[in-house]
Structure 1
Amino acid sequence: MVKLNKIYTRTGDAGQSGLVDGSRVSKASARMHAIGEVDEANSAIGLAIAELDGDAKAALGRIQNELFDLGADIATPGEMEGALRIVGPQVERLEREIDAMNEALSPLTSFILPAGSRAVSALHLARATTRRAERWSVALAEEEQVNPLALAYLNRLSDHLFVLARHVAAASGGDVLWQPGATRT
């Protein structure tokens, strides 16, 4: 259980941050970039939640909690007894939710623009932010050991957010389609 009595500690003033195993790394390291991007994705999902209700809001609430798990996973380098790690069933649940939402959608015939309602736009922002978290996590994995299921989770999550945006858009007029070259003279 986490207990924070004091928010500032001054331990990071020299540009280093502590990891779960007690080691310290530069705040500019790939690991800290990945952790920060996961946090930013979680914040973007929080913005989307503010625009949603029902099943979508509940699903994203579960995902927010899992992103804290994922952040802890990335913040725990190497092998550590009892470390909090993303596990297969979490990735599989995302896949089931994607498949269930996708069943009701018509196939894509064009790329879609990240636009529409506030909820749809917020979901697309969360998707793009999640993709950035995935890129930084992959960069970290090229340097150090990373749980492969953490990478799979981020990849699936961006797909989930894309399909959820389409699902929400379908209830309010549909996707905003890309019109290639529409503004050329």
Structure 2
Amino acid sequence: MVFLNRIYTKSGDAGETGLGDGSRVPKDAARVVAYGEVDELNAVLGLVTANCPECPERALIRTIQNDLFDVGADLCVPQPESEGGNQGLRIVPAQYERLEKAIDRLNEPLEPLRSFILPGGTPAAVWLHLARTVCRRAERTVVTLTHTEKVNPHALIYLNRLSDLLFVLGRVANDNGKGDVLWVPGASREGE
């Protein structure tokens, strides 16, 4: 249960913040950076839904935003070394399996790609591609965290599946791929 009656506490004025288990760490600790980037991804998805009323799968995106708070909560509470410790809220396979089903459903009618695509087309497609790149950065940051700390592997899998789904959603937002802007390798090199 969350209860916020004061927004500022002054407890972070010296550059530290509290994790979900009550421990204090620097605000630039790898764990804090990881869940901060997940929070940024969530904000970008909020921009997608706020700025693009024609965005496909708005209800799914809202569910994903909720899941991203779960990912942040998972990352915010360090995993205990022993099984009996405080587990906190953890991402479970059902959450990324739902993404896999959505990817399969949405990708099925799309024409296979014969080129990479540029982030372009409709505003919704561009916002979704931006969300995909932020998701990939968050994923890389979580990978970095796994080099030094124990992390729920399902949180990392969730972010990996989500970036794939955001790519597919970007194509769906471009008239099911018909409006994709294709990369033309070396196109600007003509005339050299």
Question: TM-score normalised to the size of structure 2?
Answer: 0.92
Distance 1:136 1:65 in 2: 20
Partner of 1:42: 42
Could you give the per-residue CA deviations for residues 89-115 of structure 1, whole angstroms, max 9, x where no partner exists? 001000000000000100010000011
Partner of 1:110: 115
Deviation of 1:173 after TM superposition, in Å, equals: 4.2
**Mapping of residues 1-150 of structure 1, within 5 Å:** 1-50=1-50, 51-53=52-54, 56-79=57-80, 80-81=85-86, 83-150=88-155
Deviation of 1:82 after TM superposition, in Å, equals: 5.0
Q: After TM superposition, which residue ranges in structure 1, 4 or more long, deviate above 3 angstroms?
A: 52-55
Deviation of 1:171 after TM superposition, in Å, equals: 4.5
Deviation of 1:151 after TM superposition, in Å, equals: 0.2
Deviation of 1:168 after TM superposition, in Å, equals: 1.2
Letter in 2 for 1:29: A
Letter in 2 for 1:14: A
The alignment partner of 1:151 has SS state of helix
Measured on the aligned residues, the alpha-carbon RMSD in Å equals 1.4
Segments of structure 2 that go 5 or more residues without pairing to the other structure are none
- Paired residues in the alignment total 185
Distance 1:168 1:20 in 2: 37
Distance 1:139 1:20 in 2: 20
